[in-house]
Amino acid sequence: MPSRRSVLAAGAGVTAALAVGGTARADDGRPAALLSRMTLAEKVGQLFVARVYGHSATEPDPADADANLTELGVRTAAELVAKYHVGGIIYFTWAHNTRDPRQIAELSNGIQRAALGQPRGVPVLISTDQEHGIVCRIGRPATLFPGAMALGAMALGAGGDPADARALGRIAGLELRAMGVRQNYSPVADVNVNPANPVIGVRSFGADPEAVAALVAEEVRGCQESGVAATVKHFPGHGDTAVDSHTGFPVITHTREVWERLDAAPFRAAIAAGVDSIMTGHLLVPALDDSGDPATLSRPILTGILRERLGYDGVVVTDALGMAGVRTRYGDDRVPVLALKAGVDQLLDPPDLALAHGAVLKAVQDGELTEERLDASVLRILRLKEKLGLPAEPYADPDAVGRVVGRPGHLAEADRIAVRTTTLLVNEGPLLPLSPRAHPRLLVLGADPASPSGTTGPPTTVLADALTALGFTATALSTGTDPSADTIERAVTAAGAADAVVVSTYNVTAASPQRTLVERLTATGRPVVAVAVRNPYDVAQLPSVPAFLAAYSWTDVELRAAARVIAGAARPQGRLPVPVQRADDPARVLYPLGHGLTY
């Protein structure tokens, strides 16, 4: 318990912080008392969520230690915490943070030991992007669920239930918490209305704002019931863009009225569900702010709309600050300062942490940012840590993690949900289901995109193995996403020895060699089943294929579900959560939202 004196001392700081946009709460006692004891450098550190290389907080591999030294000026995660007092750390597969569940739990504990050993002993809020589907930082043996658009297809299908998103959120949250990860940058609340969207696509629940809102709210509730902070993204909405904010600066041309009707609904639903954090999008929305600044740096959007109009007083976190969408107008020293002035609380993964930390510190010392403004954000972050129970229980239990992560009941739930997501769009004849008696020998070929977590796939092998387990003799042949003429010839020759062909497709365009491959396979006279392992829009480019399934991702759980549908071990139940336009006339709809066949 803080002393009476410390609580009284905190009162003045809390009052000042509330004056710049916060709301007084009954549970502010311990966070406010802690805030009152923090130095300016410690407060600035709390605003940052940093990356760090390595599987261990104190003994990373030499290459990871060198990478940390080059990019962060420290060798280990423990040194990072000691030097910058960071409030958060984000885990990435490519940063070698996520080898296996026990290692992740021990890394989390090492980070917390380093933080609790500092003078103020503030635990670190550890985060990651575990969206499931095509964005997943922690792979097997963790439970991997279908992605958002697959859940959108499930919810529209016969017997579909948005509450399945709550089950996903709860189980995913329980497993993350067991590994010491207490903030998940999921779910995606963007309404995907642009088939050309290169960055959202199947990461969105779909094109209907009300359906997306319902699923977002359910996943938020499930995640937070497990003791993990959910994070909806990317405010004010990244669904209608043809530019990836990682590599460019997207512009959303929606009018204010269209934004209110289309983009805002899922964020409103998330706020009503009590979402702990909201991530900003690095995109320009002139109808909401005509200054030319991205939303991440826009006070009219983050304070005027999100804080004041929508009434949100939780934590606002930027998307990664190394992305091009937030770096086109300002230098890396200005971006974090402008984000804070706009209304942001957490600054995620700046490209140069030393530069960003120093810039914020200087902005406060020079008076550009008041310490009261800083306090408002730090108080929100400390409140969230208190809500999650981090000060009382900062550590994971490495000995128990194996009993939680990937437990049989969780895996069964993922399979149960997945089998209701597969969507049958075309079935001439009907060709499906295939049977081992009529089509004993299957050739499974096509695109083999890399696993999002590095622990599953490749898709053709997973499909072939699953179909073999269902009674077929299936052979896998990877032809890639850009098959050469020689590769296509080999595939066509191999198809001649098969009774039917299953081909995985990945983002097929009019000029894609994948289209040529499918046309050549269909011309052999062999029955051909196409399975889109990302965007369902592939079907518009493949008019000759007699059977077409949308799996929405290439993770094992979705591919096993597609195999069961192909074999007739399960009926297709999914319905398109987005419309598919004609390839030759995009103004006309080929398959409407809600389309889906069954047998």
d(CA 286, CA 297): 13
**pLDDT number for residue 184:** 98
Tell me what pLDDT residue 17 has. Answer: 45
- Please give the Cα distance from 85 to 50 (Å, whole number): 10
Report the distance separating Cα 536 and Cα 320, nearest Å.
28
CA distance 502 to 569: 16
Q: How many CB atoms lie within 10 A of CB 8?
A: 12
Count CB atoms within 10 A of the CB of residue 560.
23
Listing DSSP states for 136-169 in one string gives ESS-TTS-----HHHHHHHHHSTT--THHHHHHH
Would you tell me how many other CB atoms lie within 10 Å of the CB of residue 250?
24
CATH tag for 422-591 (out of 3.40.50.1820, 3.40.50.1700, 2.20.25.10, 3.40.50.720)? 3.40.50.1700
User: CA 3 to CA 97: how far, in whole Å?
Assistant: 39
Number of residues written out for the chain: 599
- Per-residue pLDDT tens listing for the chain (599 residues): 344 333 334 444 444 444 344 566 767 789 999 999 999 999 999 999 999 999 999 999 999 999 999 999 999 999 999 999 999 999 999 999 999 999 999 999 999 999 999 999 999 999 999 999 999 999 999 999 999 999 999 998 766 788 899 999 999 999 999 999 999 999 999 999 999 888 899 999 999 999 999 999 999 999 999 999 999 999 999 999 888 889 899 899 999 999 999 999 999 999 999 999 999 999 999 999 999 999 999 999 999 999 999 999 999 999 999 999 999 999 999 999 999 999 999 999 999 999 999 999 999 999 999 999 999 999 999 999 999 999 999 999 999 999 999 999 999 999 999 999 999 999 999 999 999 999 999 999 999 988 887 777 799 999 999 999 999 999 999 999 999 999 999 999 999 999 999 999 999 999 999 999 999 999 999 999 999 999 999 999 999 999 999 999 999 999 999 999 999 999 999 999 999 999 999 889 999 999 999 99
Residues 321, 356: contact at Cβ < 8 Å? yes
Count of other CB atoms within 10 angstroms of residue 257:
9
Q: At what angle do helices 335-342 and 371-387 cross, to 10 degrees?
A: 80
Query: pTM score, two decimals?
Result: 0.93
Three state DSSP letters for 246-290 = CCCCCECCCCHHHHHHHHHHHHHHHHHCCCCEEEECCCECCCCCC
Give dist(CA 209, CA 193) in Å, integer: 10
| 306 closest CA partner among 348, 347, 277, 335 | 277
**Contact of 222 with 177, CB cutoff 8 Å:** no
Is 275 in contact with 232 (CB distance < 8 Å)? yes
Alpha-carbon distance of 413 to 418, in angstroms, equals 9
- The domain spans of the chain are 38-404, 422-591
Residue closest to 384 by CA, chosen among 30, 8, 110, 3 = 30
Among all chains, which residue has been given the structure tokens 């609790």?
A: 116
User: What is the DSSP code (8-state) at residue 106?
Assistant: H
Strand extents, DSSP E, 8-78: 48-51
Placement of tokens 């387990």 in the chain: 469
Copy the structure tokens of residue 167: 């089950």
Rounded Cα distance, 150 and 91, in Å: 25
Q: Which residues are identified as catalytic? A: 246, 319
User: Do residues 236 and 342 touch, judged by C-beta distance below 8 A?
Assistant: no
Distance from C-alpha of 153 to C-alpha of 12, rounded to nearest angstrom: 51
Q: How many CB atoms are closer than 10 A to CB 58?
A: 15
340 with 357: CB under 8 angstroms? no
Looking at the structure, give the CATH architecture of the domain made up of residues 38-404. Alpha-Beta Barrel (3.20)
**What distance in Å separates the CA atoms of residue 472 and residue 474, rounded to the nearest whole number?**
6
Six-digit token string for 25? 């709460």
pLDDT at 199: 86
**Are the C-beta atoms of 554 and 533 separated by less than 8 Å?**
yes
d(CA 90, CA 317): 12
- Mutual orientation of helices 101-116 and 163-178 as an angle, nearest 10°? 60
